[in-house]
Structures are given as structure tokens and as C-alpha cells.
Amino acid sequence: MNKKGTSLFENGLIWFGAGVSLAEILTGTYFAPLGFQKGIWAIIIGHIIGCLMLFFAGLIGGKVRKSSMETVKQSFGSKGGLLFSVLNVLQLVGWTAIMIYDGAISATSIFNTGRWVWCLVIGALIVLWILIGIKNLGKVNTVAMSALFILTIILCFVIFNDGTFTSTISDEMTFGAAVELSVAMPLSWLPLISDYTREAEKPVKATAVSAITYGIISCWMYVIGMSAAIFTGESDIAQIMIKAGLGIAGLLIIIFSTVTTTFLDAYSAGISAESIFSKLKGKYMAVAVTVIGTIGAIIFPMDDITDFLYLIGSVFAPMIAIQIADFFILKEDRSNKQVSIVNLLVWVVGFVVYRLLMQVDIIVGNTLPDMLITLILCVVVNLIVKAVKKKNWFHFITIIYPLDF
């Protein structure tokens, strides 16, 4: 008997929860130096680029019914893909710790019982979410998301109605850097989305719903953060909630937004761990990641995540570019190989190019140029290698420059 997949509504709820995030709000505060109008454009352009890549990543997993890290093996080989599984687990452990830390810091601002207490509370709730399981979260998520939706509207009303415009425009951040910071958040979900679209009844539609829902909600969170910094002069969202009298309601926003987002990180870390060690049970690995993240949030300070976001971009932007080239253009599946040396070398070039582009202010950010360069390089190099193996240079030349005889 076939198991029923997740519905479009359930996928939308999952990615609504991913979008409603303190990390997004806090990142939005960095856009204040651009001013409101330029900041809005940077947020929108960045999210269009990032969510388009998110859609392609989810579409691959949805079509082949494989997890994110299993689809990576189609481009890098069964062993080569393990590198990205390890990198993905590490970034997800990092995200889990950062999200718990941010949630605990904000919760402490409202009810000062100590950061470590809130770290434990949030960590315990994430574990509960994991044990309930993604397919049993429909009703729980509906209630949680409805409450979050109402409370974020209240937060917007407080910021725009009670705030006073203050000029924050400066040269502290360039437009290109802001676009890249906007791209970085959806990009951080690239190695996760297929973990959910593979379970969908209608994978193509579910991927579109997931990317669009996340894009809209994430933009909204960025705008809340930026507007808070511009209109209230306050970058601490918890303090805004206190001033507005949103004590308990504010605490609910903080806790549930942190839990619903971090659940996705921990769950996908478990799935990625399964692709490294097949005998491991993903659910219990997700619990272990949550425990490690909780301990990390208690011990280490994690206030500035911009470098972390750029590192994620430099690792996963060229990775997904190669996957897109292989799946949609070259139509190759390399999972039967141990390692695809060619694609790994192309990825290294893509990684280096991204880091070099960080030194240049490009109006569309670094990710889009880097992905285009990596994608073209992947296609050209693989066609050359294929032609050399066949010892058919004429065939290669006619692919690149079609001849009309």
C-alpha cells in the first residue's frame, strides 16, 4: 500500500514556518543603512534569485523522489556526494545552535530567567517536533502557524504605526552586499528542500508552493527587521515587543518561530546523516543534532552570522549550479560512479570564484554570477571530457558551433 504524500497545504505550512524566523528578522536589521526604498529592492531582488535556485533544487529531489543529499550524489558520485553531506550536517548543526541562541536571547529579554533556561526549553520543544514527525505535524503546524501569522501582523502594526522614521542611510553597506545577504538565506535552504519535496503528492507544484511561500514570508521578515531599525531605531525585536506590551504574545512569536524553523534544520541534518551512514536512523540523529546545538547555544556567543551566511553561499551556490547543469542540461546521473572528479574540480573553481567575487561590489550580488560561471564551466568541461573519451573532437565542435552543411 502506497503511503500518502504531503499535500500542497502541508508543504506551504512547512515553508511558512521556515520563513517566520528571528534569523531573518535580525538579518533584515542590517539593511537599515540603505534606507527603506533601496533596502526593499535589495531584499526582493535577492529573494527572487535565491528562491529561483531553491525551486530548481527542490524540483530535482521531487522528480527523482530522493533526499537533498541523495540528489547531490547524482552529480558528484556515491562517495563524492558524502563531502557535501558532511558539510551540510556541519552547517545544520551551526544553524540549529544559532537559531536556539537567537531565540533564547530574545526570550530572555522578555522573561529574564537566564539564557540557558530558554535554550533548554526551545531545544526540548524542537525534540518534541522531531518525534511527532513531519507527516503528523499537519494539525500542530496549522495551529502554530495561525498564531504566528496573527502575531507577526500585530508586530508590523506596532512598528509602522507607533514608530517614527529616523534617517539611517550611510555607506556602511553597499547595494550589492545587501542583495547577497538577501540571497544567502534562501540559499542556506538549498541542501534541505528536497528532504520535503520528495514526500509530496505533487512534487512540482509542491516545490513551487514551497519556494514561493518561503520567498514571500522571508521577505516579510527581512522588511520587519529593516523597518524596526529604521522606524524605531531598535534592532532588538524583543525590546520592540516589550515596548508594545506584547509580553506573552511576543514570547510565543519568539519560541514558536524558533521551533518551527530549527525543526527543519535538525530534521534535515538527520536525513543527511543517513546518507553518510545508512545504518543511522535519521530521526534520532536529528535529536542528537538538537542536543549538540542546544549545548553550543548555551556555551558560545553567536551574535553576528554574516560570515557564516557567506560561507554557506560559497559552498552550496556552485554545488547547486553543477546539479542544475547535470540534471536539466546534460541529463547525466553519476550516482553509479564512486567520485566525479570533473565535477568536484568544477565545484572547487566555483568556490574560489565566489570568494573572489566577494571582493567586488556587483549589483546583483555574488551568487548569480558565480552560479552562471560554474554552470557554464560544468557543461563545457563535461562535454570536452565526453568528446575526448570518444576521441571525437568533431562531435564536440559541432555541439558548441553547429555547422550547416
Q: What is the pLDDT of residue 405?
A: 36
pLDDT at residue 167 in the model: 55
- Sequence-separated (6 or more) residues with CB below 8 Å from residue 102: 22, 23, 26, 258, 302
Residue from 183, 221, 246 nearest 22 by CA: 221
Predicted pLDDT of residue 307: 86
Query: Which one, of 291, 288, 286, 296, lies nearest residue 265 by Cα?
Result: 286
CA angle 116/121/126 to nearest 5° reads: 120
What are the pLDDT digits (tens) for 356-392? 999 888 999 999 999 999 999 999 999 988 888 776 6
Q: Which CATH number fits domain 8-305: 3.40.50.2300, 1.10.4160.10, 1.10.630.10, 3.40.50.460?
A: 1.10.4160.10
Cell numbers that stand for 172 in this block = 556602511
- pTM of the predicted protein model: 0.84
Per-residue pLDDT at 171:
64
Q: What is the pLDDT of residues 168-188, one digit of tens each?
A: 556 678 899 899 999 988 988
Residue segments in the chain with a per-residue pLDDT below the cut of 50: 1, 403-405
The reported pLDDT for the residue numbered 1 is: 41
